Amino acid sequence: MAVYVDDAIWNWQGMRWAHLVADEEHELHRFAASLGISRLIYQGPPKTAHPHYDITAFERRIAIARGAIACSREEIVLVLRRLRASRAA
* Strands 10-12 vs 52-56: parallel, antiparallel or unpaired: unpaired
DSSP string, 3-28: EEEE---EEETTEEEEEEEESSHHHH
The domain spans of the chain are 3-71
Instruction: Give dist(CA 86, CA 65) in Å, integer.
Output: 27
Q: Span 22-30, mean pLDDT?
A: 94
* Strands 3-6 vs 15-22: parallel, antiparallel or unpaired: antiparallel
Task: Note the pTM of the prediction, 2 decimals.
Answer: 0.87
Residue 89: the pLDDT is 66
Please list the residues that pair with 43 across neighbouring strands.
52
32-58 pLDDT tens trace: 999 999 999 999 888 888 899 999 999
